[in-house]
Amino acid sequence: MEIKLPILNDVWMDNAVETLYRILRETQNSSFSVKIDNNSLIITVTDFDKFKESVGIAVKNRRSNLIAINEDKNLGEKKEVKKDYILIQEGAKVSGKVAFKEELYNEKSTAETIKEIFDLISKEGTRNCIICGRQFFKPMKKLQQAAYPFVTKIKSLSGVRSYKDGEVYSFKEYFEDLCPTCYLTGISEWLDDGIIYRTVPGEKSTLFLPRFNSLEGLAKFKDSYRSLLNKSSRYRNIRVKEGSEETENPSGSFSTLLCFYEKFFFGVDKKEVIGKSWAMMEVPFGAVKNIKLNVIDLTESILLIIKELSEDKISIYKGIITEIFFFYDNTKGAPVDWDLTGEIRENLSESILRDDFRSFAKNLLPRKGGHVGYSNDTRLNLEYLIYIWRLKGMGLDEENLKIIKSAGRTIAAASKNHRNLLYKLDKAKDKNALLDALRQISRRIAGLKVEEKDKFRGFIYPPALEDIVLLLERHESDSKFIEDLKNTLVIFSCVEFSRLDYIGEKKEGVVNE
Ligand SMILES: [Zn+2]
């Protein structure tokens, strides 16, 4: 007997096929063999009874992927909790153990259910499956979110949706048309330990599932990074480092993905296949689970940048993103605005992943009541990031970088008490507007009072602005160059802006030359 599960180009179902493959491969014995290629998973069964028994045991062993252990430190008790993103209903706990309503995940009925499903799969029939289109004999279960979370998003089903008990969707015409193979596949995806997740209690969970047009590629990619994830962690599963139980705590979805790639390039030895496309799935808290689904496609060039940084032992997430803070200008109370810090870190992560240099620069600008700040090490890491992200491609070298940094210090000093100068530079839309902003900065520098000049000594170096003007003239017909140069200037000005607070106090030994 041969069971064939084809690729459906549906991110949930394809990851589920890969999950089944993984489970079957781990449990493979003389009763069956399993192989995966670009287009399908093929199970060849020689002893049907023993095969069903083995799959039942394998699924039972994997149940731990659906739960986390919660320890009550006061009582010293350990209790199972269902992970928040799992869309399988649970009944009252039985002596601290989660009791799933789905028969497949109820330890007492797993073996029997698996047997029943495969018996149905082995029969031929004439009904058509709504998910895969294949003909089948009889459904195992109705179509529900537990087996296919995007059930409300199937085009042919919209319009026939109705509510029952306030939360259960039912589909009068089609909901019975789920073949037992798709039921088993879909429901098995909860056993996937290759999903990256982040849960904000009371709000939502965000899940990342890789998208591939080859099942074999998908399997290779997931195999290569599984060890970076800690499935026993309830809220977030990217390990601080391989082998560690501790997990990272990124401030948002994009920082989660950026954090993942940092670990991937640092930790994974054999990067045979590198996934670039992801489905970002948002599962809300609350009774009605309307799942949001977004696709994120990354470019090769951005991944190469993260890779290049890691080869130079620079962590894009730990060494840059999590080292950026929003400081209050007036530090009577707490020095850092943590909410805004989290928001900025998330925006910066998204800008990097989407290769949006403009948005990256904008997020570093000072805002009302405060500014972004960094440690010395972070500044160097950031500088290196900007160099390989943009300057290298613009044909600029280390010497040009020095000029831009020097101009940045000058702009920062001029804008310290006149932030509108920095905002104007940031808003400049073309070469002329940029030249105009630079002229205003020069005038401001020329008009500085003696004590200001004294205070900012070492920061102000007007010839650097002249050099920038020359660069602009040389590339005046290249609007992309001009835009990138502007954003680079904004970034370095913002970085230097944060240092001005410390001059006079710490004597960091800044010299502008
Ligand atoms: Zn089907």
Rounded to the nearest angstrom, the distance between the alpha carbon of 182 and the centre of ligand 1 is: 4
Distance CA 243, CA 236 (A): 15
The candidate with the shortest Cα–Cα distance to 198, out of 154, 249, 245, 242, is: 249
Rounded to the nearest angstrom, the distance between the alpha carbon of 122 and the centre of ligand 1 is: 13
Rounded to the nearest angstrom, the distance between the alpha carbon of 291 and the centre of ligand 1 is: 21
Rounded to the nearest angstrom, the distance between the alpha carbon of 37 and the centre of ligand 1 is: 19
Rounded to the nearest angstrom, the distance between the alpha carbon of 203 and the centre of ligand 1 is: 33
Output the tens digit of pLDDT for each of the chain's 513 residues.
999 999 999 999 999 999 999 999 999 999 999 999 999 999 999 999 999 999 999 999 999 999 999 887 787 888 999 999 999 999 998 888 999 999 999 999 999 999 999 999 999 999 999 899 999 999 999 888 999 998 865 555 544 444 444 444 444 556 788 999 999 999 999 999 999 999 999 999 999 999 999 999 999 999 999 999 999 999 999 999 999 999 999 999 999 999 999 999 998 887 888 999 999 999 999 877 789 999 999 999 999 999 999 999 999 999 999 999 999 987 677 789 999 999 999 999 999 999 999 999 999 999 998 999 988 889 999 999 999 999 999 999 999 999 999 999 999 999 988 999 999 999 999 999 999 999 999 999 999 888 888 888 888 998 999 999 999 999 999 999 999 999 999 999 999 998 887 664 444 444 454
- Spatial contact of 66 and 241, defined as CB atoms under 8 Å apart: no
SS3 of 5-48? EECCCCHHHHHHHHHHHHHHHHHCCCCEEEEECCCEEEEEECCH
pLDDT, position 167: 42
- From residue 275, alpha-carbon distances to 19, 64, 221, 355 in Å are 17, 26, 6, 17
> Which stretch of DSSP H or E encloses residue 168?
strand 168-171
Rounded to the nearest angstrom, the distance between the alpha carbon of 11 and the centre of ligand 1 is: 15
Rounded to the nearest angstrom, the distance between the alpha carbon of 13 and the centre of ligand 1 is: 10
Rounded to the nearest angstrom, the distance between the alpha carbon of 133 and the centre of ligand 1 is: 6
pLDDT, position 86: 95
Rounded to the nearest angstrom, the distance between the alpha carbon of 8 and the centre of ligand 1 is: 10
Rounded to the nearest angstrom, the distance between the alpha carbon of 157 and the centre of ligand 1 is: 15
Rounded to the nearest angstrom, the distance between the alpha carbon of 177 and the centre of ligand 1 is: 8
pLDDT, position 334: 76
SS3 of 446-507? HCCCHHHHHHCCCCCCHHHHHHHHHHHHHCCCCHHHHHHHHHHHHHHHHHHHHHCCCCCCCC
Rounded to the nearest angstrom, the distance between the alpha carbon of 143 and the centre of ligand 1 is: 10
pLDDT, position 332: 73
Rounded to the nearest angstrom, the distance between the alpha carbon of 415 and the centre of ligand 1 is: 63
- Spatial contact of 377 and 319, defined as CB atoms under 8 Å apart: yes
Rounded to the nearest angstrom, the distance between the alpha carbon of 130 and the centre of ligand 1 is: 6
Rounded to the nearest angstrom, the distance between the alpha carbon of 282 and the centre of ligand 1 is: 24
pLDDT, position 240: 95
Distance CA 210, CA 192 (A): 12
Rounded to the nearest angstrom, the distance between the alpha carbon of 303 and the centre of ligand 1 is: 36
The reply to whether ipTM tops 0.90 is: yes
